[in-house]
Chains A and B, each alone.
Chain A
Amino acid sequence: GIQVEQSPPDLILQEGANSTLRCNFSDSVNNLQWFHQNPWGQLINLFYIPSGTKQNGRLSATTVATERYSLLYISSSQTTDSGVYFCAVESGANSKLTFGKGITLSVRP
């Protein structure tokens, strides 16, 4: 099956800093989503982005499908950005998402 690798595994930032989170995948995809899992376990949809670039406030994402990677940019980070960021892809006809291992982000005040 498709492999999803996220990097770095852990990231510590000072409040106000910018960061880039990366997601590599091993095959072509129909769907790619970025999620933020908050400390209570809720998965928040950030982007549905199988290709192209999207922006939502301080967050933006770019997926280069031909090169099999996606990037999530966080600008002017805040303590509330802390949590785990997951990239998930769907590559078959069954709509099943395969998740990466996640990136744990800690933003310090």
Chain B
Amino acid sequence: GAVVSQHPSRVICKSGTSVKIECRSLDFQATTMFWYRQFPKQSLMLMATSNEGSKATYEQGVEKDKFLINHASLTLSTLTVTSAHPEDSSFYICSGLRGFSEAFFGQGTRLTVV
């Protein structure tokens, strides 16, 4: 299968600071990447769709100014949580789309805002 690498795997930050999470497709080019959020014992909730070279498309209810997404190349998308607050603490997961069909996921990032 294809490999998607996500970093960091864990991060603790102070309230009010910003955190950047990287998502890289290592052995395929991902024109489209997705960012998800997962709360404990719940399913994955899609936050936004990221297309290389264009602005991200955010799902309803997701603040685009708080969750900045950049997809600068066919192998890298970044999610920046700006001015993080404790309620932003969560597990964030990215996925890259191989071809136009099969999705492969990164390892996830556990964000804790204190």
Contacts and interface: CB of A to CB of B under 8 A. Distances in A.
Interface string A70-109: 0000000000000000101010001111011110000000
B1 A41 contact: no
B101 A41 contact: no
Contact of A97 (B38, B42, B46, B110): B46
B interface majority secondary structure: strand
Interface string B90-114: 0101010100111111011010000
A106 B42 CA distance: 17
Range class of the B interface residue count:
20 to 34
A109 B42 CA distance: 26
B105 A43 contact: yes
A16 to B, nearest CB: 27
21 contacts: A30-B101, A31-B102, A35-B105, A41-B38, A41-B91, A41-B93, A41-B108, A42-B107, A43-B108, A45-B102, A45-B105, A86-B44, A88-B44, A94-B49, A95-B49, A95-B101, A96-B34, A97-B46, A97-B95, A100-B43, A101-B43
